Amino acid sequence: MSMPITELGTAALREHLADELVRTRARSAALTDAVDDGELVRQHSRLMSPLVWDLAHIGNQEELWLVRDVGGRDPLRADIDHLYDAVKHSRPDRPALPLLDPTQTRRYLGEVRGKVLDVLERAPLTGRPLLEHGFAFGMIVQHEQQHDETMLATHQLRVGPAALHAPVPEPERSTDSPAEVLVPAGEFTMGTSTEPWALDNERPAHRACTGAYWLDTTPVTNRDYQAFLADGGYDDPRWWSERGWAHRCGAALVAPQFWYLDGGSWWRNRFGIMEPVPPEEPVMHVSFFEAQAYAAWAGKRLPTEVEWEKAARFDPATGRSRRFPWGDKDPTPAHANLGQRHLQPAAAGSYPAGASPLGVHQLIGDVWEWTSSGFSGYPGFVAFPYREYSEVFFGGDYRMLRGGSFGTDAAACRGTFRNWDHPVRRQIFTGFRCARDASPGERPGLG
Protein backbone atom coordinates (compact mmCIF):
# COMPACT_ATOMS: atom_id res chain seq x y z
CA MET A 1 0.00 0.00 0.00
CA SER A 2 1.58 3.28 -1.12
CA MET A 3 -0.79 5.68 0.67
CA PRO A 4 -0.86 5.94 4.50
CA ILE A 5 -3.94 4.44 6.15
CA THR A 6 -4.85 7.83 7.59
CA GLU A 7 -5.19 9.26 4.06
CA LEU A 8 -7.42 6.53 2.63
CA GLY A 9 -11.05 7.25 1.89
CA THR A 10 -13.68 4.96 3.38
CA ALA A 11 -14.02 2.72 0.32
CA ALA A 12 -10.26 2.37 -0.11
CA LEU A 13 -9.84 1.66 3.60
CA ARG A 14 -12.46 -1.09 3.48
CA GLU A 15 -10.69 -2.64 0.49
CA HIS A 16 -7.34 -2.47 2.27
CA LEU A 17 -8.74 -4.06 5.42
CA ALA A 18 -10.34 -6.87 3.41
CA ASP A 19 -7.07 -7.50 1.58
CA GLU A 20 -5.13 -7.64 4.85
CA LEU A 21 -7.63 -10.06 6.41
CA VAL A 22 -7.45 -12.36 3.38
CA ARG A 23 -3.66 -12.15 3.08
CA THR A 24 -3.21 -12.95 6.75
CA ARG A 25 -5.63 -15.88 6.69
CA ALA A 26 -3.73 -17.35 3.75
CA ARG A 27 -0.62 -17.45 5.93
CA SER A 28 -2.49 -19.13 8.79
CA ALA A 29 -3.85 -21.72 6.37
CA ALA A 30 -0.41 -22.41 4.90
CA LEU A 31 1.07 -22.99 8.36
CA THR A 32 -1.66 -25.42 9.39
CA ASP A 33 -2.29 -27.13 6.05
CA ALA A 34 1.42 -28.06 5.90
CA VAL A 35 0.91 -30.85 8.47
CA ASP A 36 -1.70 -33.55 9.06
CA ASP A 37 -4.41 -33.49 11.70
CA GLY A 38 -2.32 -35.55 14.11
CA GLU A 39 0.38 -32.88 14.01
CA LEU A 40 -2.20 -30.13 14.49
CA VAL A 41 -3.55 -31.56 17.74
CA ARG A 42 -0.18 -32.65 19.15
CA GLN A 43 1.62 -30.45 21.66
CA HIS A 44 5.17 -30.25 20.30
CA SER A 45 6.47 -28.49 23.41
CA ARG A 46 4.96 -27.48 26.75
CA LEU A 47 6.10 -23.96 25.86
CA MET A 48 3.69 -23.89 22.92
CA SER A 49 0.01 -24.59 22.26
CA PRO A 50 -1.12 -27.25 19.82
CA LEU A 51 -1.40 -25.62 16.41
CA VAL A 52 -5.14 -26.28 16.37
CA TRP A 53 -5.54 -24.21 19.57
CA ASP A 54 -3.79 -21.21 17.97
CA LEU A 55 -5.97 -21.51 14.89
CA ALA A 56 -9.26 -21.61 16.80
CA HIS A 57 -8.07 -18.84 19.14
CA ILE A 58 -7.49 -16.65 16.07
CA GLY A 59 -11.11 -17.23 15.01
CA ASN A 60 -12.46 -16.69 18.51
CA GLN A 61 -10.74 -13.32 18.90
CA GLU A 62 -12.02 -12.30 15.49
CA GLU A 63 -15.53 -13.25 16.53
CA LEU A 64 -15.32 -11.46 19.89
CA TRP A 65 -14.06 -8.15 18.51
CA LEU A 66 -15.37 -7.89 14.97
CA VAL A 67 -18.58 -9.94 14.92
CA ARG A 68 -19.89 -9.24 18.42
CA ASP A 69 -18.36 -5.88 19.38
CA VAL A 70 -18.01 -3.96 16.09
CA GLY A 71 -20.85 -5.74 14.31
CA GLY A 72 -23.21 -6.10 17.26
CA ARG A 73 -24.10 -9.61 16.06
CA ASP A 74 -25.16 -12.58 18.13
CA PRO A 75 -22.38 -15.00 19.15
CA LEU A 76 -21.61 -17.91 16.86
CA ARG A 77 -19.96 -20.05 19.55
CA ALA A 78 -20.19 -18.44 22.98
CA ASP A 79 -19.76 -21.95 24.41
CA ILE A 80 -16.09 -22.06 23.41
CA ASP A 81 -14.99 -18.62 24.63
CA HIS A 82 -13.47 -20.04 27.82
CA LEU A 83 -11.47 -22.68 25.91
CA TYR A 84 -9.61 -20.09 23.88
CA ASP A 85 -9.04 -17.52 26.61
CA ALA A 86 -5.24 -17.18 26.72
CA VAL A 87 -5.31 -15.72 30.23
CA LYS A 88 -7.46 -18.47 31.75
CA HIS A 89 -5.51 -21.40 30.34
CA SER A 90 -1.71 -21.55 30.20
CA ARG A 91 -0.04 -23.30 27.29
CA PRO A 92 0.85 -26.54 29.14
CA ASP A 93 -2.82 -27.05 30.07
CA ARG A 94 -4.43 -26.45 26.68
CA PRO A 95 -4.12 -29.95 25.16
CA ALA A 96 -6.34 -31.37 27.94
CA LEU A 97 -9.21 -29.01 27.09
CA PRO A 98 -12.16 -30.20 24.94
CA LEU A 99 -10.92 -28.27 21.92
CA LEU A 100 -12.50 -28.13 18.49
CA ASP A 101 -10.93 -30.69 16.19
CA PRO A 102 -9.20 -29.51 12.98
CA THR A 103 -12.31 -29.92 10.81
CA GLN A 104 -14.51 -28.08 13.31
CA THR A 105 -11.87 -25.38 13.71
CA ARG A 106 -11.62 -24.67 9.99
CA ARG A 107 -15.42 -24.60 9.67
CA TYR A 108 -15.64 -22.18 12.60
CA LEU A 109 -13.02 -19.86 11.08
CA GLY A 110 -14.87 -19.84 7.78
CA GLU A 111 -18.18 -18.98 9.45
CA VAL A 112 -16.59 -16.17 11.47
CA ARG A 113 -14.82 -14.73 8.43
CA GLY A 114 -18.05 -14.66 6.43
CA LYS A 115 -19.69 -12.60 9.19
CA VAL A 116 -16.63 -10.34 9.48
CA LEU A 117 -16.58 -9.46 5.79
CA ASP A 118 -20.26 -8.56 6.04
CA VAL A 119 -19.56 -6.37 9.09
CA LEU A 120 -16.70 -4.71 7.23
CA GLU A 121 -19.05 -3.66 4.43
CA ARG A 122 -21.34 -1.92 6.92
CA ALA A 123 -19.13 -0.71 9.79
CA PRO A 124 -18.80 3.11 9.93
CA LEU A 125 -15.00 3.07 10.59
CA THR A 126 -15.39 6.24 12.61
CA GLY A 127 -17.18 7.57 15.68
CA ARG A 128 -15.34 5.60 18.37
CA PRO A 129 -11.65 4.88 18.97
CA LEU A 130 -12.06 1.18 18.18
CA LEU A 131 -13.27 2.05 14.68
CA GLU A 132 -11.08 5.00 13.70
CA HIS A 133 -8.98 4.13 10.64
CA GLY A 134 -10.24 0.55 10.96
CA PHE A 135 -8.31 0.00 14.21
CA ALA A 136 -10.34 -3.03 15.33
CA PHE A 137 -9.73 -4.78 12.02
CA GLY A 138 -6.05 -3.82 12.13
CA MET A 139 -5.80 -5.12 15.68
CA ILE A 140 -7.20 -8.48 14.57
CA VAL A 141 -4.83 -8.63 11.58
CA GLN A 142 -1.89 -8.00 13.92
CA HIS A 143 -3.19 -10.54 16.43
CA GLU A 144 -3.46 -13.24 13.77
CA GLN A 145 -0.02 -12.41 12.37
CA GLN A 146 1.46 -12.64 15.87
CA HIS A 147 -0.05 -16.10 16.28
CA ASP A 148 1.22 -17.03 12.84
CA GLU A 149 4.73 -16.26 14.07
CA THR A 150 4.00 -18.31 17.18
CA MET A 151 2.85 -21.20 14.98
CA LEU A 152 6.03 -20.80 12.94
CA ALA A 153 8.02 -21.21 16.17
CA THR A 154 5.98 -24.34 16.89
CA HIS A 155 7.02 -25.70 13.49
CA GLN A 156 10.65 -25.18 14.54
CA LEU A 157 9.97 -27.40 17.57
CA ARG A 158 8.37 -30.20 15.56
CA VAL A 159 10.23 -33.49 15.27
CA GLY A 160 10.34 -34.95 11.80
CA PRO A 161 10.93 -33.95 8.19
CA ALA A 162 10.57 -30.35 7.07
CA ALA A 163 7.00 -29.26 6.40
CA LEU A 164 7.76 -25.67 5.40
CA HIS A 165 9.95 -24.43 2.56
CA ALA A 166 11.15 -21.02 1.39
CA PRO A 167 14.10 -19.67 -0.61
CA VAL A 168 17.35 -18.68 1.08
CA PRO A 169 17.61 -14.88 1.45
CA GLU A 170 20.08 -13.32 -0.97
CA PRO A 171 19.61 -9.56 -0.49
CA GLU A 172 22.02 -6.77 -1.24
CA ARG A 173 24.66 -6.64 1.48
CA SER A 174 27.07 -4.03 2.82
CA THR A 175 30.42 -5.44 3.96
CA ASP A 176 32.33 -2.21 4.62
CA SER A 177 30.33 -0.77 7.53
CA PRO A 178 32.12 0.03 10.79
CA ALA A 179 31.60 -2.46 13.59
CA GLU A 180 29.79 0.15 15.71
CA VAL A 181 28.51 3.71 15.50
CA LEU A 182 28.23 6.50 18.03
CA VAL A 183 24.68 7.53 18.89
CA PRO A 184 24.74 11.07 20.28
CA ALA A 185 23.38 12.04 23.67
CA GLY A 186 20.10 13.90 23.89
CA GLU A 187 16.35 13.70 23.68
CA PHE A 188 14.14 12.15 21.02
CA THR A 189 10.47 11.30 20.61
CA MET A 190 9.77 7.73 21.72
CA GLY A 191 6.51 5.90 21.09
CA THR A 192 3.67 7.24 18.99
CA SER A 193 0.40 9.10 19.21
CA THR A 194 -0.29 9.08 15.46
CA GLU A 195 0.37 5.54 14.16
CA PRO A 196 -3.20 4.39 13.40
CA TRP A 197 -2.78 0.72 14.32
CA ALA A 198 -0.28 1.16 17.16
CA LEU A 199 -1.17 -0.88 20.22
CA ASP A 200 -1.65 0.61 23.68
CA ASN A 201 1.88 -0.13 24.95
CA GLU A 202 3.38 1.89 22.07
CA ARG A 203 1.48 4.99 23.20
CA PRO A 204 1.66 7.88 23.87
CA ALA A 205 4.55 9.66 22.18
CA HIS A 206 6.84 11.20 24.79
CA ARG A 207 10.31 12.66 25.12
CA ALA A 208 13.04 10.27 26.21
CA CYS A 209 16.73 10.92 26.75
CA THR A 210 19.94 8.92 26.50
CA GLY A 211 23.61 9.56 27.07
CA ALA A 212 25.98 8.98 24.19
CA TYR A 213 26.57 5.31 23.43
CA TRP A 214 28.12 3.05 20.85
CA LEU A 215 25.90 0.49 19.13
CA ASP A 216 26.85 -2.44 16.93
CA THR A 217 25.92 -1.81 13.30
CA THR A 218 24.74 -5.42 12.90
CA PRO A 219 23.38 -8.11 15.16
CA VAL A 220 25.91 -10.48 16.73
CA THR A 221 26.63 -13.24 14.21
CA ASN A 222 27.01 -16.99 14.55
CA ARG A 223 30.73 -16.54 13.89
CA ASP A 224 30.95 -14.02 16.74
CA TYR A 225 29.02 -16.30 19.06
CA GLN A 226 31.14 -19.33 18.23
CA ALA A 227 34.18 -17.37 19.46
CA PHE A 228 32.39 -17.01 22.81
CA LEU A 229 31.73 -20.76 22.84
CA ALA A 230 35.34 -21.58 21.88
CA ASP A 231 36.61 -19.37 24.71
CA GLY A 232 34.62 -21.38 27.25
CA GLY A 233 31.95 -18.74 27.71
CA TYR A 234 29.35 -21.24 28.89
CA ASP A 235 31.72 -22.57 31.55
CA ASP A 236 32.85 -19.27 33.06
CA PRO A 237 30.52 -17.66 35.62
CA ARG A 238 32.37 -14.33 35.30
CA TRP A 239 30.28 -13.44 32.27
CA TRP A 240 26.91 -14.43 33.64
CA SER A 241 24.56 -12.68 36.03
CA GLU A 242 23.73 -14.63 39.19
CA ARG A 243 20.31 -15.55 37.82
CA GLY A 244 21.73 -16.26 34.40
CA TRP A 245 24.40 -18.63 35.73
CA ALA A 246 21.85 -20.46 37.86
CA HIS A 247 19.66 -20.93 34.81
CA ARG A 248 22.58 -21.93 32.58
CA CYS A 249 23.52 -24.66 35.09
CA GLY A 250 19.97 -25.78 35.87
CA ALA A 251 18.99 -26.02 32.21
CA ALA A 252 22.39 -27.44 31.18
CA LEU A 253 22.82 -24.87 28.41
CA VAL A 254 25.87 -25.41 26.21
CA ALA A 255 24.99 -23.50 23.00
CA PRO A 256 22.04 -21.78 21.29
CA GLN A 257 18.92 -23.93 21.06
CA PHE A 258 18.87 -26.29 18.06
CA TRP A 259 22.70 -26.28 17.75
CA TYR A 260 24.74 -29.46 18.07
CA LEU A 261 28.36 -30.50 17.55
CA ASP A 262 29.21 -32.98 14.81
CA GLY A 263 32.82 -33.79 13.98
CA GLY A 264 34.03 -30.70 15.78
CA SER A 265 31.75 -28.36 13.78
CA TRP A 266 28.53 -26.68 14.82
CA TRP A 267 25.34 -27.76 13.05
CA ARG A 268 21.74 -26.76 13.58
CA ASN A 269 18.23 -28.08 13.08
CA ARG A 270 16.27 -25.46 11.11
CA PHE A 271 12.65 -26.47 10.56
CA GLY A 272 13.62 -30.11 10.19
CA ILE A 273 16.67 -29.47 8.00
CA MET A 274 20.07 -30.34 9.47
CA GLU A 275 22.74 -27.95 8.19
CA PRO A 276 26.05 -26.33 9.17
CA VAL A 277 25.57 -23.15 11.19
CA PRO A 278 26.03 -20.25 8.70
CA PRO A 279 28.78 -18.04 10.13
CA GLU A 280 27.50 -14.70 8.76
CA GLU A 281 23.89 -14.99 9.93
CA PRO A 282 22.76 -13.29 13.16
CA VAL A 283 22.83 -15.76 16.03
CA MET A 284 19.34 -16.94 16.91
CA HIS A 285 17.48 -18.91 19.59
CA VAL A 286 19.43 -17.47 22.51
CA SER A 287 17.91 -16.40 25.80
CA PHE A 288 18.31 -13.00 27.40
CA PHE A 289 20.76 -14.56 29.86
CA GLU A 290 22.94 -15.92 27.03
CA ALA A 291 22.87 -12.59 25.22
CA GLN A 292 23.80 -10.78 28.43
CA ALA A 293 26.72 -13.17 29.06
CA TYR A 294 28.07 -12.76 25.53
CA ALA A 295 27.91 -8.98 25.83
CA ALA A 296 29.85 -9.07 29.11
CA TRP A 297 32.47 -11.36 27.55
CA ALA A 298 32.82 -8.91 24.65
CA GLY A 299 33.33 -6.00 27.06
CA LYS A 300 29.96 -4.51 26.20
CA ARG A 301 26.34 -4.69 27.33
CA LEU A 302 22.86 -5.01 25.87
CA PRO A 303 21.17 -1.75 24.84
CA THR A 304 18.25 -0.45 26.82
CA GLU A 305 14.90 -0.32 25.08
CA VAL A 306 15.18 3.47 24.88
CA GLU A 307 18.60 3.18 23.24
CA TRP A 308 17.31 0.62 20.77
CA GLU A 309 14.38 2.79 19.67
CA LYS A 310 16.52 5.89 19.41
CA ALA A 311 18.93 4.07 17.09
CA ALA A 312 16.00 2.76 15.04
CA ARG A 313 14.01 5.99 14.70
CA PHE A 314 15.99 9.15 15.49
CA ASP A 315 17.24 11.19 12.53
CA PRO A 316 20.06 13.49 13.71
CA ALA A 317 19.73 15.66 10.60
CA THR A 318 16.12 16.64 11.28
CA GLY A 319 15.71 15.84 14.97
CA ARG A 320 12.52 13.88 14.32
CA SER A 321 11.63 10.25 14.88
CA ARG A 322 10.80 8.14 11.84
CA ARG A 323 8.36 5.23 11.62
CA PHE A 324 11.22 2.98 10.50
CA PRO A 325 15.00 3.29 10.33
CA TRP A 326 14.84 4.16 6.60
CA GLY A 327 11.96 6.63 6.84
CA ASP A 328 8.19 6.68 7.05
CA LYS A 329 7.23 4.39 4.17
CA ASP A 330 6.14 0.81 4.76
CA PRO A 331 8.85 -1.86 4.40
CA THR A 332 9.57 -3.51 1.08
CA PRO A 333 11.70 -6.62 0.40
CA ALA A 334 14.65 -4.26 -0.14
CA HIS A 335 14.32 -2.84 3.40
CA ALA A 336 13.98 -5.85 5.67
CA ASN A 337 13.57 -9.61 6.01
CA LEU A 338 9.95 -9.87 7.15
CA GLY A 339 6.79 -11.84 6.50
CA GLN A 340 8.15 -15.41 6.35
CA ARG A 341 9.45 -14.83 2.82
CA HIS A 342 12.44 -16.81 4.08
CA LEU A 343 12.86 -19.27 6.92
CA GLN A 344 16.09 -17.83 8.30
CA PRO A 345 17.83 -14.51 8.88
CA ALA A 346 19.89 -12.87 6.14
CA ALA A 347 23.63 -12.36 6.56
CA ALA A 348 24.78 -9.51 8.78
CA GLY A 349 24.97 -6.24 6.87
CA SER A 350 22.10 -7.11 4.54
CA TYR A 351 19.43 -4.66 3.37
CA PRO A 352 21.52 -1.46 3.23
CA ALA A 353 18.38 0.34 1.97
CA GLY A 354 16.87 -0.35 5.39
CA ALA A 355 19.73 1.08 7.44
CA SER A 356 19.22 3.97 9.86
CA PRO A 357 20.66 7.46 9.23
CA LEU A 358 23.60 6.53 11.47
CA GLY A 359 24.28 3.37 9.46
CA VAL A 360 22.80 0.72 11.76
CA HIS A 361 21.61 -2.34 9.80
CA GLN A 362 18.81 -4.85 10.30
CA LEU A 363 17.04 -3.11 13.15
CA ILE A 364 13.82 -4.34 11.54
CA GLY A 365 13.37 -8.01 10.65
CA ASP A 366 15.77 -10.99 10.69
CA VAL A 367 15.85 -11.56 14.49
CA TRP A 368 14.10 -10.07 17.49
CA GLU A 369 16.68 -8.25 19.61
CA TRP A 370 16.89 -8.55 23.37
CA THR A 371 17.22 -5.32 25.32
CA SER A 372 18.11 -4.92 28.99
CA SER A 373 14.79 -3.25 29.91
CA GLY A 374 11.78 -4.63 31.72
CA PHE A 375 8.18 -4.06 30.61
CA SER A 376 6.23 -1.02 31.79
CA GLY A 377 3.84 1.51 30.37
CA TYR A 378 4.94 4.84 28.98
CA PRO A 379 4.07 8.08 30.83
CA GLY A 380 0.37 8.66 30.25
CA PHE A 381 -0.33 5.02 29.31
CA VAL A 382 -4.01 4.12 28.92
CA ALA A 383 -5.08 0.49 28.47
CA PHE A 384 -6.95 0.03 25.17
CA PRO A 385 -9.08 -1.76 24.27
CA TYR A 386 -8.52 -4.23 27.13
CA ARG A 387 -6.09 -4.54 30.08
CA GLU A 388 -5.01 -8.07 29.19
CA TYR A 389 -3.14 -6.99 26.08
CA SER A 390 -0.38 -5.15 27.96
CA GLU A 391 -1.13 -3.82 31.42
CA VAL A 392 -1.43 -7.14 33.23
CA PHE A 393 2.16 -7.96 32.16
CA PHE A 394 3.75 -4.74 33.45
CA GLY A 395 6.35 -5.30 36.13
CA GLY A 396 6.59 -9.04 35.57
CA ASP A 397 9.68 -11.10 34.87
CA TYR A 398 10.04 -9.94 31.27
CA ARG A 399 12.65 -8.38 29.04
CA MET A 400 11.80 -6.29 26.02
CA LEU A 401 12.39 -7.51 22.48
CA ARG A 402 12.43 -5.12 19.55
CA GLY A 403 12.55 -5.06 15.77
CA GLY A 404 10.77 -8.21 14.62
CA SER A 405 12.17 -11.29 12.89
CA PHE A 406 12.01 -13.01 9.51
CA GLY A 407 8.77 -14.54 10.82
CA THR A 408 7.16 -11.21 11.75
CA ASP A 409 4.73 -9.67 9.29
CA ALA A 410 5.07 -6.03 8.31
CA ALA A 411 1.57 -5.37 9.66
CA ALA A 412 2.85 -6.25 13.14
CA CYS A 413 6.24 -4.56 13.00
CA ARG A 414 7.33 -0.92 13.15
CA GLY A 415 9.88 1.20 14.94
CA THR A 416 7.61 1.60 17.96
CA PHE A 417 6.40 -2.01 18.22
CA ARG A 418 7.16 -3.66 21.57
CA ASN A 419 7.45 -7.37 22.28
CA TRP A 420 8.30 -9.03 25.59
CA ASP A 421 9.13 -12.46 26.95
CA HIS A 422 10.69 -14.23 29.91
CA PRO A 423 14.51 -14.01 30.00
CA VAL A 424 14.85 -17.82 29.73
CA ARG A 425 12.97 -18.13 26.44
CA ARG A 426 14.88 -19.45 23.42
CA GLN A 427 12.30 -21.05 21.11
CA ILE A 428 11.39 -17.66 19.63
CA PHE A 429 13.44 -16.10 16.83
CA THR A 430 15.65 -14.02 19.10
CA GLY A 431 19.12 -12.58 18.69
CA PHE A 432 20.76 -9.36 19.89
CA ARG A 433 23.31 -6.65 19.27
CA CYS A 434 25.63 -5.03 21.78
CA ALA A 435 26.12 -1.50 23.05
CA ARG A 436 28.66 0.29 25.23
CA ASP A 437 28.83 3.65 26.94
CA ALA A 438 30.73 6.41 25.16
CA SER A 439 33.52 8.20 27.00
CA PRO A 440 33.19 11.98 27.43
CA GLY A 441 34.25 13.75 24.25
CA GLU A 442 34.47 10.50 22.26
CA ARG A 443 33.83 10.98 18.57
CA PRO A 444 33.09 8.67 15.63
CA GLY A 445 36.22 6.92 14.38
CA LEU A 446 37.80 6.85 17.85
CA GLY A 447 35.96 3.84 19.24
Pair 430, 367: CB distance under 8 Å: yes
Q: So what's the pLDDT on residue 60? A: 98
User: Taking residues 376-387, what's their average pLDDT?
Assistant: 96
Q: So what's the pLDDT on residue 444? A: 63
Q: So what's the pLDDT on residue 442? A: 75
User: Taking residues 150-163, what's their average pLDDT?
Assistant: 96
Rounded CA-CA distance 253/251 in Å is 6
Domain range list for the chain: 5-157, 172-447
Rounded CA-CA distance 374/135 in Å is 27
For residue 355, which phi and psi values (nearest 5 degrees)? -70, 155
Q: So what's the pLDDT on residue 168? A: 97
Q: How confident is the model at residue 4 (pLDDT cuts 50, 70, 90)?
A: confident
Pair 142, 62: CB distance under 8 Å: no
Orientation angle between helical segments 135-157 and 51-62, nearest 10 degrees? 180
pLDDT digit string, tens, across residues 334-364: 999 999 999 999 999 999 999 999 999 999 9
Residue with more model confidence, 195 or 176: 195
Q: So what's the pLDDT on residue 443? A: 72
Q: How confident is the prediction for the chain on average, in pLDDT? A: 96
Pair 248, 239: CB distance under 8 Å: no
Pair 175, 399: CB distance under 8 Å: no
Pair 289, 301: CB distance under 8 Å: no
User: Taking residues 309-330, what's their average pLDDT?
Assistant: 97
Classify 299 in phi/psi space as left (phi over 0), alpha (psi -120 to 50) or beta.
Answer: left
pLDDT digit string, tens, across residues 420-435: 999 999 999 999 999 9
User: Taking residues 150-172, what's their average pLDDT?
Assistant: 96
pLDDT digit string, tens, across residues 51-80: 999 999 999 999 999 999 999 999 999 999
Orientation angle between helical segments 10-33 and 135-157, nearest 10 degrees? 20
Task: Flag whether pLDDT at 146 surpasses 70.
Answer: yes
Contacts of 315 (CB under 8 A, 6+ apart): 321, 322, 357
User: Taking residues 175-198, what's their average pLDDT?
Assistant: 96
Task: Flag whether pLDDT at 85 surpasses 60.
Answer: yes
Beta strands in 271-327 (DSSP E): 273-276
Residue with more model confidence, 209 or 3: 209
Residue with more model confidence, 150 or 175: 150
Q: How confident is the model at residue 447 (pLDDT cuts 50, 70, 90)?
A: very low
Task: Flag whether pLDDT at 3 surpasses 80.
Answer: no
368-370 and 430-431: which strand pairing?
Answer: parallel
**Does the domain at residues 172-447 carry the CATH identifier 3.90.1580.10?**
yes
Burial of 403 (0-12, 13-18, 19+ CB in 10 A): buried
Please state the pTM of the whole predicted model. 0.96
Contacts of 343 (CB under 8 A, 6+ apart): 164, 165, 166, 270, 271, 406
Q: So what's the pLDDT on residue 446? A: 41
Q: So what's the pLDDT on residue 2? A: 62
User: Taking residues 272-289, what's their average pLDDT?
Assistant: 98
CATH of domain 5-157: 1.20.120.450
